[in-house]
């Protein structure tokens, strides 16, 4: 696994275009990349969320983790410390900031997240688009409780946390007539479930929806899932920033797959 990811990162590093947009011929993609990858996120948001992360990284409580996905590469046992989850599994600040910018740009009227974990990505998106409702799904009840604590401490009120399997929660989203402008798929690293979640969300998506897939080069399975997603009939262009893949459905554009440094 380590050798695979190292090889993929080397390939990404050597082929990716500059995050300032140099070499991108599509005016829409150039404008999008130059703004999203360079604009600053509100410093108060970062300080608030990273203060909670620091607290979680010092939290020695042990919880029973119900892992419904492929599991962590590093943590295989079901009993885990909150500090370990915060240090290893949570979305890092750098990518939380990007999710916040994406939420501000595309997050209206709703945002859907697969895989809350401790809630750091959720909070970044919620703060990035405070007028949106964020529906976030978490399969592990114990992890979900920690996320609730974090949301309360952050004082964020536009998050709706759904606890249970993704397969059970997706019909709930349909019942609520959720209209996602931004969708973040995390929490599972197996090809078929990821492809299934993507296909269901693609049916809910319109031309302005953006779907973000986390850990697209995590394993050969995720690599295959990402390849399949890029070739989906509704997809018009994608952006690969190594850790995450951004998927767009805008009409009137030739299909393109961009690899961009972030």
pLDDT tens across 178-237, in order?
999 999 999 888 999 999 999 999 999 999 999 999 999 999 999 999 999 999 999 999
CA distance 250 to 227: 19
Report DSSP letters for 13-67, one per residue. HHHPBPTT-TT---HHHHHHHHHHTTSPPPHHHHHHHHHHHHHHHT---EEE---
CATH superfamily, domain at 2-259: Vaccinia Virus protein VP39 (3.40.50.150)
> Which region holds residue 97: left if phi is over 0, alpha if psi is between -120 and 50, else beta?
alpha
**Residue-level pLDDT at 210:** 98
What does the CA dihedral 201, 203, 208, 213 come to, rounded to 10 degrees? 30
CB contact at 8 A, 225 and 194: yes
pTM for this structure? 0.91
pLDDT tens across 142-187, in order?
999 999 999 999 999 999 999 999 999 999 999 999 999 999 999 8
* φ, ψ at 147 (rounded to 5°): -60, -40
Q: In the 8-state DSSP scheme, what is residue 92?
A: P
**Residue-level pLDDT at 8:** 74
């Amino acid at each position: 696994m380590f050798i695979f990811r190292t090889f993929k990162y080397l390939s990404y590093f050597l082929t990716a275009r500059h995050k300032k947009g140099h070499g991108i011929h599509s005016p829409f993609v150039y404008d999008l990349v130059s703004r999203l990858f360079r604009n600053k996120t509100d410093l108060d948001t970062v300080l608030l969320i990273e203060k909670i992360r620091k607290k979680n990284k010092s939290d020695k409580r042990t919880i029973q983790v119900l892992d419904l996905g492929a599991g962590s590469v590093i943590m295989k046992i079901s009993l885990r410390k909150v500090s370990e989850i915060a240090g290893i599994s949570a979305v890092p600040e750098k990518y939380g900031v990007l999710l916040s910018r994406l939420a501000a740009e595309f997050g209206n009227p709703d945002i859907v997240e697969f895989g809350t974990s401790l809630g750091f990505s959720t909070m970044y998106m919620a703060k990035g688009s405070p007028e949106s409702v964020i529906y976030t799904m978490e399969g592990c009840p114990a992890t979900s409780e920690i996320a609730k604590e974090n949301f309360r401490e952050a004082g964020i009120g536009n998050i709706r946390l759904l606890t249970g399997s993704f397969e059970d929660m997706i019909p709930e989203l349909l019942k609520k007539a959720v209209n996602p402008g931004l969708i973040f798929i995390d929490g599972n690293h197996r090809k078929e479930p990821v492809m299934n979640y993507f296909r269901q969300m693609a049916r809910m998506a319109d031309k302005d929806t953006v779907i973000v897939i986390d850990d697209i080069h995590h394993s050969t399975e995720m690599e295959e899932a990402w390849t399949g997603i890029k070739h989906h009939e509704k997809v018009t262009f994608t952006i690969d920033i190594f850790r995450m893949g951004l998927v767009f459905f805008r009409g009137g554009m030739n299909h393109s797959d961009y690899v961009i440094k972030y």
